[in-house]
Structure 1
Amino acid sequence: MRRTLLIALCLFSLSAQADNLLSLYQRALLASPELKGSQYAVDIAKAQEDQSLGRLLPQAALTGNYSGNALKYETRNGKTYPGTRAGLNIRQPLFDLQAYLLMRSQESKTAQGEDALTAAHQKLIYDLVDRYVDALEAADKSEIIAAELESTEKQLARVKAMSERQMALVTDLYELQARVETLRTNLIESKNDANIALEKLRELTGDAVTGIQPVRLDTAQPAPEGNADTWVEQVSRANPDISALKHAIESADKSISAYEAGHLPRLELQASGNYSDVSFNNQESPPYTVGTIGVEATIPIFEGGITSARVREAEGRKGLSTSQLDQKQRELEKYTRAAYLDMATAQARSLATDRQLEANEKAKLAMEKGYELGVVTIVDLLNAQKQLSESRKIQRQSRYRYFKSRSLLMMEAGQLDVEELAKLNDWLVSDPSLVITATPITASDETPKPNKAAEQPQKTSNVEPPKSSVKQTTKTDEPKSVVKTENNNVPSSVLNNKPITNTASAISFSNKPVNNTQPIASIPENKPANNTVVKPIPTTEIKPVELNPENNNAVKPNAITETKPVNTIEPAPITDTAKPETLENPV
């Protein structure tokens, strides 16, 4: 069967234009150390089975002896002579229950090893599909990010051109630049992840994987037959891992019976033939031949507790295998039901992702039109572009999820073989122009330095910022602002005077509407701010208000003195209505 499998794989690989599931499987089958290790484990188990069988087969031994003998007497001269002996001994166990049960136990261990080999073979196929899909997903992520980056860079160039004509906000320019830099960073990471995914395929195949074929997006995704309970029953019957644990329990159970039989007697049939030309004490004698046949019985009485210890060991192995079987059944049932549900909902999920992608494409176009009309911000447009990229990724992930779920369900049911792998391979695109290859990360992928001259807003030349302690300067038809003063000349006692609490409303300008307020630094050179020249407001000192003992009701906490363009401030008169004084526009 293995030769047939290899021939089929060779035929499939001849027509492959790039690495696909079958070609990679052929390479992994020959290079997988895990699969080779499982095969060696089967060979070891078979050798141990033959050893246990040998204890029940006849045992034959041929012996020979040649000696030189010197015979001496007390009363006469002695002599020297050679001596020769030869013998053939045959032993055949007639009753050895322990040896028989140990042989049956080893047979179960061999079956366990074969099931483990089948499980390793199916796991190799599943790992190949899983890593293949991960490589496709990583490559798609890199492709989607690259497309989003290209679209965002076009938006950035467009907004830069608009900003030069004073038709776009500087904040929009910064938002786009930040998004571009983020996408460039993400693109480098995604390319690295795609290359790492191909390296994981190298671990299975043993050599480099330069390119893989993508999955068709129009792939049919049929639902599994039957229901979840049917597949759970199939898993309990045909899963190789469960079968291996069942054989382990059988082996341990037979080992218990075998070691308990160590207290029983053993019977052997013995036959021997001996030739000798010396007697029993090597005295010279005429040559003779002796043939013997008989039955030997051995009754164990005491062996130092070895038999009882072996029984306890076998009982512990049985309990361990039983616990592992229970745990494995629960685990496989969970995976089986999850894979079944994923396959059952795959078609509906794919249709939903298609509609989601279509809706996000329309939303992105609408956001572009809205930004041109000024009804949405650049952040809304960037979010729409991000959602579009996310929907593209989700659409492809739904196809990949079906691949993984189908492979997992077939593996748990013991049906993941080369024929099933060939069905999955038929869903790949064989177009050489669409082959996904490793993408080297070069210096061109690094984030370029931003053009600061293009990003900074134009500075006006006919309006200079005031060189004084006043920090707030505005361009308005009728300016309104709050004067901020430096505290270099203000005593600490004034700053710490708690009765003066509302300093923001103490000094204000006339309460008139403010129109077209924007920083002076953003006023273009050809558009002066209504010929308005901002003059510095002199620094003032503030002294606390003194109380009038004759009119206590006239003093209110919010009353402060009038500011004057001098370095000393006199106490302001206190009236019944202590309101903040309103100054005319100093500009």
Structure 2
Amino acid sequence: MRLTYLLASASSLLLAGVPQASGENLQDALSAAYLNNPDIRAQRMAADIAEEQIDQARSRGRPKVNLFGSYVYQSLDSGAPFAFNNGDRPVASAQLEARFPIYAGGRLGAVVRQAEAGAFAAEAELDSATQTLLLETITAYVDIIRDRAVIDIRNSSIDLLEGQLTASQDRFDVGDITRTDVALSEARLEGGRAQLAAAEAQLEGSLAYYAFLTGLDAGDLAPVPPAPPMPETFDEALAIALHSNPAIEGARFAERAAKESIEVAKGAFRPEVSAIAQAGIQEYHSDGYNDTSFTAGAQASIPLFTGGLNSSRLREARLQRSQAQSQIALNERFVRAQIARAWYGLEAAQRAVAASERQVEAAEIAYEGAQEELKVGFRTTLDVLDQEQQLLEARLAVVSAERDRYVAAHQLLAAMGELSPEVLGIGIR
């Protein structure tokens, strides 16, 4: 069964339970959550830090120019037979040095590629945190709509139960029913009031979590918009997830960074060559003359023995890459499970919506019939109360199924890596 058709079919309380013009809408909530959430700000700064590390890595392959200067007081006293420049004098010196790396055993390019992969991994982590936050916000939003609908249904049920109790009391007064029937009505009414109190407590919890996520106090919430289009098959959804899920993308970039760290470690065994140029001047103030110098050439260093440090770093880099490869496999398994759970959860929720709506229709007919039959003595008070309870449960089931269907659709999008601000149409980046 095509999910695009399922989601386009009739929905009820979530999509049309509140007048469209009232209160904030889902896009307002998502924008507030994204812009105000501390975790997203921290992840965004982590991505910015990773970008700066690319510039730092590139700088290692660029020329370095340094200026050194000094001013000292020099005292010379030589015991040699012929000595010059003895005595006390101030000396000022300055030296300009330029150094350009020519060869570093492949480390320069590997460090840049490692930093670039790290930046992509940080961006994937930001995307993952963003999608998690958006999904939680959507869930909190529809939880409030569901909880308010539940309270309305339970209030309506209490009104019916109070009317039933009044009718039972009147019939008892004229001797049509027994005290047991009145007690049954009283028990159902008190049970309904207890369930209403529980529903109100659940709403308060949902409101608090919504405020935590968005920084907003939920007023009259507008109906949610239809869910974005879904893939037509499970295999299509899975293929998109394995390609686009940010957890998998982040693990792949982390593995790429680990691969480059191996090249960096290997480069430590190879020579390093730099071109250097130096120009200097020394000025002897008391003698009134100065010395100048200029040198240019190449400088090479070859590692001979590091006490096992370089070998250990190479083994560490290889282990880190193996660890990153295992993380890719783990994330792919997890995403497969997420896709299956969301896909079949969505189909089940859709079927539950349709079944619950049919149940409401049947329960309404049964309840109305039981009331009429009670008047002529074909039904007892307990029968009517049972039918009223079934109708109540059917209406509550519709509300819960609508909520579950909407959440499952967005859980599927999140597992696919498609629950982005752009897809949701909130225009925040």
2:414 to 408, 411, 414: 411
User: Structure 1's 155 and 16: CA in aligned 2 closer, same or farther, altered over 3 A?
Assistant: closer
Q: Give 1:95's aligned residue.
A: 103
User: Structure 1's 319 and 141: CA in aligned 2 closer, same or farther, altered over 3 A?
Assistant: farther
Q: Counterparts of 2:319 and 2:176 in 1: how far apart (Å)?
A: 82
Q: What is the TM-score of this pair, normalised by structure 1?
A: 0.64
Question: Bigger shift: 66-75 or 20-29?
Answer: 66-75
Q: Give 1:374's aligned residue.
A: 377
Identity of aligned residues (%): 26
Alignment partner of 1:34 is 2:39:
yes
Contact residue 223 and residue 343 of structure 1 kept, 8 A = no
2:152 to 128, 143, 161: 143
Q: Give 2:3's aligned residue.
A: none
Q: Counterparts of 1:65 and 1:223 in 2: how far apart (Å)?
A: 71
Q: How far 1:283 sits from its partner (Å)?
A: 11
Contact residue 245 and residue 325 of structure 1 kept, 8 A = yes
Q: Counterparts of 1:309 and 1:284 in 2: how far apart (Å)?
A: 56
Between structure 1 and structure 2, the one with the greater Rg is: 1
Give the aligned CA root-mean-square deviation in angstroms. Answer: 2.6
Q: How far 1:71 sits from its partner (Å)?
A: 3.8
Instruction: Trace 1:412-431 onto structure 2 (pairs within 5 A).
Output: 412-422=415-425
Q: How far 1:110 sits from its partner (Å)?
A: 0.6
User: Structure 1's 338 and 69: CA in aligned 2 closer, same or farther, altered over 3 A?
Assistant: closer
2:292 to 286, 289, 293: 289
Q: How far 1:165 sits from its partner (Å)?
A: 1.5
Q: Give 1:547's aligned residue.
A: none
SS at match of 1:263: coil
Question: Bigger shift: 283-292 or 409-418?
Answer: 283-292
**What is the CA deviation profile of residues 386-429 of structure 1, one whole-angstrom value per residue up to 9, with x for unaligned ones?**
11111111222232222112212222223223343349xxxxxx
SS at match of 2:232: coil
Contact residue 124 and residue 247 of structure 2 kept, 8 A = yes
Q: How far 1:122 sits from its partner (Å)?
A: 2.0
Contact residue 16 and residue 23 of structure 1 kept, 8 A = no
Q: Counterparts of 1:325 and 1:107 in 2: how far apart (Å)?
A: 18
**What is the CA deviation profile of residues 26-74 of structure 1, one whole-angstrom value per residue up to 9, with x for unaligned ones?**
2212211111011111122122222222221111110112222234467
Alignment partner of 1:167 is 2:176:
yes
Contact residue 361 and residue 388 of structure 1 kept, 8 A = yes
Alignment partner of 1:316 is 2:319:
yes
SS at match of 1:26: helix
Q: Counterparts of 1:258 and 1:302 in 2: how far apart (Å)?
A: 18
Question: Bigger shift: 255-264 or 333-342?
Answer: 333-342
Letter in 1 for 2:233: N
Residue ranges of structure 2 left out of the alignment (5+ in a row) = 1-19
Contact residue 30 and residue 138 of structure 2 kept, 8 A = no
Q: Give 2:5's aligned residue.
A: none
Q: Counterparts of 2:211 and 2:231 in 1: how far apart (Å)?
A: 35
SS at match of 2:261: helix
2:260 to 245, 254, 257: 254
Q: How far 1:265 sits from its partner (Å)?
A: 1.0
1:240 to 240, 246, 266: 246
Greater RCO between the two (CA within 8 Å, min separation 6)? 2
SS at match of 2:268: helix
Alignment partner of 1:190 is 2:199:
yes
Q: Counterparts of 1:223 and 1:172 in 2: how far apart (Å)?
A: 53
**What is the CA deviation profile of residues 86-138 of structure 1, one whole-angstrom value per residue up to 9, with x for unaligned ones?**
11111111111223312211110111001111222222221111111111122
Alignment partner of 1:111 is 2:120:
yes
Contact residue 67 and residue 96 of structure 2 kept, 8 A = yes
**What is the CA deviation profile of residues 450-478 of structure 1, one whole-angstrom value per residue up to 9, with x for unaligned ones?**
xxxxxxxxxxxxxxxxxxxxxxxxxxxxx
SS at match of 1:211: coil
Q: What is the TM-score of this pair, normalised by structure 2?
A: 0.86
Contact residue 275 and residue 298 of structure 2 kept, 8 A = yes
Contact residue 65 and residue 86 of structure 1 kept, 8 A = yes
Q: Give 1:157's aligned residue.
A: 166
Q: How far 1:366 sits from its partner (Å)?
A: 1.9
Contact residue 97 and residue 277 of structure 2 kept, 8 A = yes
Q: Give 1:46's aligned residue.
A: 51
Q: Give 1:60's aligned residue.
A: 65
Q: Counterparts of 1:309 and 1:222 in 2: how far apart (Å)?
A: 51
1:177 to 179, 183, 186: 186
Residue ranges of structure 1 left out of the alignment (5+ in a row) = 1-14, 424-587
Letter in 2 for 1:129: I
Aligned residues: 403
Alignment partner of 1:402 is 2:411:
no
Q: Counterparts of 1:395 and 1:73 in 2: how far apart (Å)?
A: 104
1:350 to 329, 350, 353: 353
Q: How far 1:155 sits from its partner (Å)?
A: 0.4
SS at match of 1:374: coil
**What is the CA deviation profile of residues 318-342 of structure 1, one whole-angstrom value per residue up to 9, with x for unaligned ones?**
2332232222212222222333334
